[in-house]
């Protein structure tokens, strides 16, 4: 068995890298649905259909536990999957809850009533589908009160990153941050609610200014997974082969992944 990390494309590599550094002995299967990226402009039914198809393939590759490293899939499909699709012996976890626990300084499993937290004005940058789902605000409301969230749908950024056009991505980030600041001039914290955005973290920080704390998911999700596996070690199991799979062109995806992670990455056809 191995732990699966799913994303619509290359963005989940930020989470994959964080998990690999935190849990070097756990075999990981990465699955990028590059043929169907971006997910962020699709409707919820489409995202559900694509995500379940991909996760099923990951089970065939020996993953009993799959992390939806994709915020869009976590926001638009995870709850429906957990309610009536995931078999008893498998687990599918998302990335929103660890992020919100970090933002609200809560430990895993702290189910106490929502309370006041330090951050009051949060800027959420995410895909159009994630923003439309309001999943972030819903999960936050279970844990915190008095937090004003302003969400900015960042159209185009994922496509630019998938195409390796980081100059365009940076220009788009700067215009999305400007748009956000027109609605919320002084956020205390910014959440990069899409796994592709950490590749542009410096651009977000530069546009937001040094006083805004930028939360990105890689380390937060890795830590939360490490914690989960201490409680549920059976979800790793013995053996398992690490591999990177894509529904896209393996050569092109391997080249982009190598460029982004600055280390050799080899993808095979899913």
Q: How far is the CB of 66 from ligand DGL (least distance, A)?
A: 15
Smallest gap from Cβ 45 to ligand DGL, in A, equals 16
For binding to ligand DGL (CB under 6 A), which residues are involved?
A: 7-9, 11, 37-40, 70-72, 127, 130, 158, 194-196
* C-alpha of 258 from chain center: 19
Minimum CB distance to ligand DGL, residue 71 (Å): 4
Q: Residue with CB nearest ligand DGL?
A: 40
Please, where are the H alpha helices in 13-152? Answer: 13-22, 44-60, 71-76, 78-84, 96-103, 128-133, 135-143
* For ligand DGL, the closer CB: 104 or 127: 127
What gap in Å lies between CA 11 and CA 18, rounded to an integer? 12
20 and 5 Cβ atoms separated by less than 8 Å: no
Closest alpha carbon to 196 in 226, 171, 222, 163: 163
Which CB, 122 or 236, lies closer to ligand DGL? 122
Fill in the DSSP letter of residue 84.
H
Tokens 């530069």 sit on residue: 206
If the CB atoms of residues 8 and 205 are measured against ligand DGL, the closer one turns out to be 8
Is the bond preceding residue 38 a cis peptide, omega within 30 degrees?
yes
Is the CB of 51 or the CB of 205 nearer to ligand DGL? Answer: 51
Q: How far is CA 77 from CA 57, 81, 200, in A?
A: 17, 6, 25
Task: Compare residues 194 and 218 and give the one whose CB is closer to ligand DGL.
Answer: 194
Report the distance separating Cα 103 and Cα 137, nearest Å.
12
Closest CA to 1 of 231, 223, 227, 242: 242
Instruction: Kindly tell me which of 27 and 155 has the beta carbon lying closer to ligand DGL.
Output: 155
- Nearest distance from C-beta of residue 30 to ligand DGL, angstroms: 13
In the complex, minimum distance from the CB of residue 33 to ligand DGL, in angstroms, rounded to a whole number: 8
Task: For the chain, report the end-to-end CA distance as a whole number of angstroms.
Answer: 17
Does residue 117 contact residue 144 with C-beta atoms inside 8 Å?
Answer: yes
Least distance to ligand DGL from the beta carbon of 155, Å? 10
Among all residues, which ones are annotated catalytic?
70, 194
In angstroms, the CA 182 to CA 201 distance is 20
């Amino acid at each position: 068995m191995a732990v699966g990390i799913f994303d619509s494309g290359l963005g989940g590599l930020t989470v994959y890298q964080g998990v690999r550094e935190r849990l070097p002995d756990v075999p990981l299967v990465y699955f990028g649905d590059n043929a169907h990226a971006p997910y962020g402009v699709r409707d919820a039914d489409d995202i559900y259909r694509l995500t379940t198809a991909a996760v099923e393939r990951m089970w065939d590759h020996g993953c009993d536990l799959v992390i939806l490293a994709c915020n869009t899939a976590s926001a638009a499909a995870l709850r429906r999957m957990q309610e009536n699709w995931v078999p008893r012996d498998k687990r599918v976890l998302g990335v929103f809850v660890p992020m919100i626990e970090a933002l609200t300084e809560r430990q895993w499993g702290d189910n106490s009533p929502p309370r006041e937290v330090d951050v009051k004005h949060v800027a959420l940058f995410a895909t159009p589908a994630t923003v439309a789902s309001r999943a972030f605000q819903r999960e936050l409301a279970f844990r915190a009160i008095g937090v004003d969230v302003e969400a900015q749908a960042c159209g185009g950024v994922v496509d630019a990153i998938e195409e390796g056009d980081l100059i365009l991505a940076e220009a788009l980030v700067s215009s999305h941050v400007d748009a956000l600041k027109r609605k919320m001039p002084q956020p205390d914290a910014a959440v990069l609610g899409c796994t592709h955005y950490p590749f542009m973290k410096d651009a977000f920080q530069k546009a937001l200014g040094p006083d805004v704390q930028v939360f990105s998911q890689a380390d937060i999700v890795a830590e939360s997974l490490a914690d989960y596996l201490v409680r549920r070690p059976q979800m790793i199991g013995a053996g398992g082969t690490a591999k990177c799979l894509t529904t896209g062109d393996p050569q092109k995806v391997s080249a982009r992944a190598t460029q982004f992670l600055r280390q050799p990455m080899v993808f095979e056809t899913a």
